[in-house]
Amino acid sequence: EVQLLESGGGLLQPGGSLRLSCAASGFTFTKYAMTWVRQAPGKGLDWVSTISSSGATTHSADSVKGRFTVSRDNSKNTLYLQMNSLRAEDTAVYYCAKNWAGGYLGPYAFWGQGTLVTVSS
C-alpha cells in the first residue's frame, strides 16, 4: 500500500525557517518524481516544487524560488522541502505527491494527508 507521511509543519514567525519531510513507503521511491503542492486555508491548489527521481532535476514556483529548496534522500525514501525566509502568504497545508510513472510535471497519482504551516507574528 502506497503511503506518504508528511511531517515538520508548525507555527512560526515571518522570516523563519522550517524543513518539511515526506516519508514514502509501499512503492519503489527511486523510480518516481515527487512534488510538493500547497493549499492556503479556504483556497485552491498551488504547485510548489517538483524533483526528478534521481534528484538531479528540480523546478520550483517563482513565488518560492530562492527561498524554498526541494531535495530527496533515496536511501531513506524521504522527500524534503527546506523553507527559508517564510512569509505570511506561505501559510498553507503542504502536500507531498507521488508523480505518475514516467511523469515529471504530472499527473500526481497519490497524495499524502498534508502538514500545516502557519506563518504569523
Partner 1 sequence: DIQMTQSPSSLSASVGDRVTMTCQANQDIKKYLNWYQQKPGKAPKLLIYDASKLETGVPSRFSGGGSGTDFTLTISSLEPEDIATYYCQQYDNVPPTFGGGTKVGIK
Q: What is the phi/psi pair of residue 40, to 5°?
A: -65, 155
Q: What is the CA radius of gyration of the chain?
A: 13
Q: What is the phi/psi pair of residue 90, to 5°?
A: -85, -5
Strands (E), the chain: 3-7, 10-12, 18-25, 34-39, 45-51, 58-60, 68-73, 78-83, 92-99, 108-111, 115-119
User: Among 78, 112, 115, 117, which residue interacts with partner 1 (rule: CB under 8 A)?
Assistant: 112
User: Among 77, 109, 116, 118, which residue interacts with partner 1 (rule: CB under 8 A)?
Assistant: 109
Instruction: Dump the DSSP string for 57-82.
Output: -EEE-TTTTTTEEEEEETTTTEEEEE
Among the listed ranges 17-25, 72-80, 83-91, 100-108, the one in contact with partner 1 (CB under 8 A) is 100-108
Residue 103 engages partner 1 in binding (rule: CB under 8 A)? yes
Give the nearest distance from C-beta 113 to partner 1 in angstroms: 5
**Number of residues engaging partner 1 in binding (CB under 8 A):** 22
Among the listed ranges 17-25, 74-82, 83-91, 109-117, the one in contact with partner 1 (CB under 8 A) is 109-117
Residue 108 engages partner 1 in binding (rule: CB under 8 A)? yes
Ranges within 36-75 binding partner 1 (CB under 8 A): 37, 44-47, 50, 59, 61-62
Q: Give residues in contact with partner 1 (CB under 8 A).
A: 37, 44-47, 50, 59, 61-62, 95, 100, 103, 105-114
